[in-house]
Each structure stands twice: as structure tokens, then as C-alpha cells.
């Protein structure tokens, strides 16, 4: 009886220990998953979420590259990096039999060139990078294009996102080139144009670009669509402009790094985030577009018809989605370093 009792006790302790060790390590952009959604996932599953953030894609990529895909269970890269990371063996293939809510996603954002068949990634949110304006301080009707930011009257007054692809997007589109250009001559022209813009730049921000607007530090600059939606909750004078040359569009996706220790929990989390009611919470709080077609019918009219969240077909057509640019990224990175250091 004693040995049976002891065995039962050991089983209980082992089960308790295993349950206590259930966790999920998420590496993501700041303020990119509602806190309530994380708490509900933990409550429902008993899986503890450890959450850390990065400022931009390049920081995230460098860290995962250094660690060979070890240390995190969920990461949320932009589309162009999905192709690069999968090609370099930093991601593991997804088990779609564990993703029962995959049916909720729009086919328009699946099976893209950066991940044919969505072997490695599941789209989470999509949005745009355009121009933010404090309409109380600046007549927003006078700001219609990326080229307007080069005006000398904005010397020392602009905010730019701290993202090489997005900043180069401005200059490439301004000069009539593709945001995905791999042409060295075009990239050089964009770089030289950005050199002329640098005196106008007050700050680079990729953590929460809305904050300098809300603090009154800047009234004009690059910003993500969702950041404007969040900013308007505190200051409705913050406006979003789709530049006439075209905004930059992107898709951020859930991926599981190759060295993830908790891949099963990662699949549970992705499937949880694909639920319509969770997607509704994400859109309403963060202000970005969702690939989840089951969400839109849950949104109120003001949200579902908001052109900042759900841009018109014309605005999408004028812009471009980021794609993988292969080895040309080294050229961008070299020019980016020169821009940031003033060399």
C-alpha cells in the first residue's frame, strides 16, 4: 500500500511539474498583441506566456540568426523576412493539422511568393506605412505626398520609422521606382535623396511612433496605420495620409523558429489567435487590418468602414507590398548605416 501510495504521489508531482513547465516564449513587436488576449490564453490553456519585444525586423533577424533559431517559440516577422529566414533554415514547417481555425483566413493573403503554400508562416495582421499629421498644427490638405517631407521648412521636425525598408520605400517611390528594387543604380539614387532628407529628421522611432506625436515633439512624419488609430483615441487631430506615390504595405506573420522548445504550444497559440473573437479584439485595440474574414462581421460600422484600417482598393493599388529582395538587402543595409551615422 505504501509503495502504491508513493508511486501515486510521484505521478502527481511529476504531472504537476510538467504542467508548471508549460510555457510559450513570444518575441514580437511592442504593443502588438492585446494584453487581455494573452491573459485569456494563459487562463484557458495553463500555458505561461513569456513576452519580449524588438524594435524592428533587422534586430529580430540578427538575434535569431545569432541564436540559430533557438530561444523563442513564436516570432512575428514582416513578409520579406519570412522568405529569407525560411531559406536560411531559421524556421520550422507548420503542422496545419493543429490549426483548425486556418479556414478563417482570406485566400488573398495566403500562398504568397514569400511563402508558397504557407509552409512556414500564418498571416497575423497587415497594414500600411504612410504619413502622420497633427491637423491642429499643420493643414493636412497641404500634405499629399512623400515628396512633401523634403521641404526645407520641416528641418529638424520629422519623425521616420526606424526601419530600412520603410524609409527607402519613401525615396524609391518618390523617384518612380519599386519598393522592392534590386537595381543598384535605383537604390543609390534613393540613398542620395535620403541624404538630402536627413536634416529634416528629428527622430527615428520603431517602438511606438504615435508617442512623439502625442507628446507634441513632432507634428509630421512616417507612421504605421494602426499607430494613428491608437493615437486618435487620445488626440483625434492626428490624421493619416496615403501618399500619392503610394504607401508601403506589409504583412506580419506568425512563425515558429527552427529551435523552438515549445512548438506544440506555439501551434495552440496561433490557432487561438485565429479565432474570430480574438481577431476582433486585436483589430479594435490595435487598429490594423486582419486577414481573418470572420472578424469583419463582428466589428461595428465605424471600425469596419475606417479607411485607415481597411484601405480602399485604389490606395492599395497605388502602394506596394514588401517582398524579399535577396542579396540586394546588403546594399540597403550599407546605405542605411551611412544614413544613421551621418557618414
Residues in binding site for spermidine: 31, 80, 163-166, 322
Compute the distance between CA of residue 227 and CA of residue 287 in angstroms, rounded to an integer. 7
CB 206 within 8 Å of CB 56: yes
Closest CA to 264 of 35, 91, 23, 27: 23
Strand residue runs (E) in the chain: 23-29, 48-54, 74-75, 121-134, 158-161, 201-205, 220-224, 238-241, 248-255, 320-321
Residue with cell 513564436: 74
Strand, coil or helix: what is 37? Answer: helix
The dihedral built from the CA positions of residue 164, 170, 174 and 179, taken in this order, carries a sign that is: positive
Q: Give the annotated binding-site residues.
A: 31, 80, 163-166, 322
Q: What is the CA radius of gyration of the chain?
A: 22
Amino acid at each position: 500500500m505504501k509503495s502504491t501510495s508513493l508511486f501515486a504521489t510521484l505521478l502527481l508531482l511529476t504531472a504537476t511539474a510538467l504542467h508548471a513547465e508549460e510555457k510559450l516564449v513570444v518575441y514580437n513587436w511592442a504593443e502588438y498583441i492585446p494584453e487581455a488576449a494573452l491573459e485569456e490564453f494563459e487562463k484557458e490553456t495553463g500555458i505561461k506566456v513569456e513576452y519580449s519585444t524588438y524594435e524592428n525586423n533587422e534586430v529580430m533577424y540578427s538575434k535569431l540568426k545569432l541564436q540559430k533559431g533557438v530561444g523563442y517559440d513564436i516570432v512575428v516577422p514582416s513578409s520579406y523576412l519570412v522568405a529569407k529566414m525560411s531559406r536560411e533554415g531559421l524556421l520550422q514547417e507548420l503542422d496545419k493539422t493543429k490549426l483548425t481555425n486556418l479556414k478563417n483566413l482570406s485566400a488573398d493573403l495566403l500562398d504568397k511568393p514569400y511563402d508558397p503554400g504557407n509552409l512556414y508562416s500564418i498571416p497575423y495582421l497587415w497594414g500600411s506605412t504612410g504619413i502622420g499629421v497633427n491637423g491642429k498644427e499643420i493643414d493636412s490638405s497641404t500634405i499629399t505626398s512623400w515628396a512633401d517631407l523634403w521641404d526645407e521648412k520641416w528641418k529638424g521636425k520629422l519623425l521616420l520609422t526606424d526601419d530600412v525598408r520603410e524609409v527607402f520605400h519613401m525615396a524609391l517611390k518618390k523617384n518612380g521606382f519599386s519598393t522592392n528594387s534590386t537595381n543598384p543604380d535605383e537604390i543609390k539614387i534613393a540613398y542620395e535623396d535620403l541624404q538630402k532628407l536627413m536634416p529634416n529628421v528629428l527622430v527615428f522611432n520603431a517602438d511606438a511612433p504615435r508617442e512623439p506625436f502625442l507628446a507634441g515633439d513632432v507634428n509630421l512624419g512616417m507612421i504605421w496605420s494602426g499607430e494613428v488609430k491608437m493615437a486618435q483615441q487620445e488626440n483625434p487631430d492626428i490624421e493619416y495620409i496615403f501618399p500619392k506615390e503610394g504607401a508601403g504595405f506589409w504583412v506580419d506573420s506568425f512563425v515558429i523558429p527552427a529551435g523552438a522548445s515549445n512548438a506544440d504550444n506555439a501551434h495552440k497559440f496561433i490557432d487561438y489567435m485565429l479565432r474570430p473573437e480574438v481577431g476582433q479584439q486585436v483589430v479594435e485595440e490595435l487598429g490594423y487590418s486582419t486577414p481573418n474574414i470572420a472578424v469583419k462581421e463582428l466589428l461595428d460600422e465605424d471600425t469596419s468602414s475606417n479607411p485607415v484600417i481597411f484601405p480602399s482598393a485604389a490606395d492599395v493599388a497605388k502602394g506596394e507590398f514588401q517582398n524579399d529582395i535577396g542579396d540586394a538587402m546588403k546594399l540597403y543595409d550599407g546605405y542605411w548605416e551611412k544614413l544613421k551615422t551621418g557618414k
